[in-house]
């Protein structure tokens, strides 16, 4: 190994944080004056780097750090309250839109009686496996369903595969419940949103003409000259 290779080894040993060199490398450092000089310079350099970095990060922590943070946390809490309310309103709006769309689906022209009415499906299955059932909107619900409906769901999975699903997240449900229970003044709005809107007819609106009693017109300065 030549001196350049030994120098590389020295630098790597120091970069790994080894305090001293060992074995063949140590023997070479003892024997070669130039390499010994280089090694000593590198020891000083790495020592200075370590010291410099330690100085850089171990600055005294200002006493105002945590009190300042607590003040900012308190400010932040106050500032964020209306924002949370906005999210609640937004969640309510989503739930309300979903509820309205479900109502509209239920009252659609192809479903005059019920949305989930599976008796025809059961009857057709008796006729044969290739019988075609009419596509109907369907609502999948994890809420309590009576035993017959559960049995029918198990009997006719192929209908559910083609029908739309309405999924409501538990967070949305919780937000809706909270909204309805906590804000009694909004309850009417919640109920109103679940009802189909009455069709309003356009009516002509008359706007009275603008009348000015006194109008004082002054000539411009430039017109006097």
Q: Which residues bind another protein (CB under 8 A)?
A: 11-12, 14-17, 42, 45-46, 48-50, 52-59, 61-62, 64-66, 68-69, 72-73, 76, 98-99, 102, 116, 139-145, 165-168, 170, 173-174, 177-178, 182, 194
Q: For the CB of residue 20, give the shortest distance to another protein in the complex, in Å.
A: 16
Q: For the CB of residue 148, give the shortest distance to another protein in the complex, in Å.
A: 14
Which of 64, 223 has the CB closer to another protein? 64
User: Counting Cβ atoms within 10 Å, is residue 94 exposed (0-12), middle (13-18) or buried (19+)?
Assistant: middle
DSSP at 209: P
Q: For the CB of residue 170, give the shortest distance to another protein in the complex, in Å.
A: 5
Q: What is the DSSP string of 152-178?
A: HHHH-HHHHHHS------HHHHHHHHH
Which of 84, 129 has the CB closer to another protein? 84
Which of 72, 135 has the CB closer to another protein? 72
Q: For the CB of residue 110, give the shortest distance to another protein in the complex, in Å.
A: 19
Directed axis angle between helix 3-15 and helix 33-57, to 10°? 20
Q: For the CB of residue 43, give the shortest distance to another protein in the complex, in Å.
A: 11
SS3 content of the chain, % helix, strand, coil (to 5): 65, 0, 35
Contact present, 98 and 166 (Cβ < 8 Å): yes
Q: Which of 201, 114, 101 is nearest to 149 (CA)?
A: 114
Which of 90, 139 has the CB closer to another protein? 139
């Amino acid at each position: 190994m030549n001196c350049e290779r030994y120098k590389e080894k020295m630098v790597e040993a120091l970069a790994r944080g080894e305090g001293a060199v060992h074995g063949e490398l140590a023997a070479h450092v003892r024997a070669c004056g130039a390499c010994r000089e280089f090694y000593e310079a590198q020891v000083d350099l790495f020592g200075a780097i370590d010291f410099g970095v330690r100085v850089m990060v171990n600055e005294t922590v200002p006493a105002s750090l945590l009190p300042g943070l607590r003040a900012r946390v308190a400010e932040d809490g106050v500032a964020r309250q209306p924002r949370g309310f906005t999210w609640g309103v937004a969640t309510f709006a989503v739930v309300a839109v979903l509820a309205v769309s479900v109502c509209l689906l239920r009252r659609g022209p192809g479903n005059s009686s019920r949305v989930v009415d599976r008796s025809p499906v059961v009857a057709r299955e008796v006729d044969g496996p290739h019988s075609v059932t009419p596509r109907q909107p369907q609502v999948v619900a994890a809420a309590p369903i009576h035993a017959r409906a559960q049995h029918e769901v198990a009997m006719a999975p192929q209908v559910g595969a083609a029908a739309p699903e309405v999924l409501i997240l538990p967070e949305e449900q919780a937000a809706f419940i909270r909204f309805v229970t906590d804000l009694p003044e909004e309850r009417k709005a919640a109920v109103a949103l679940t009802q189909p809107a009455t069709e309003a007819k356009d009516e002509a609106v008359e706007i009275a003409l603008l009348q000015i009693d006194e109008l004082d017109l002054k000539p411009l300065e430039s017109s006097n000259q």
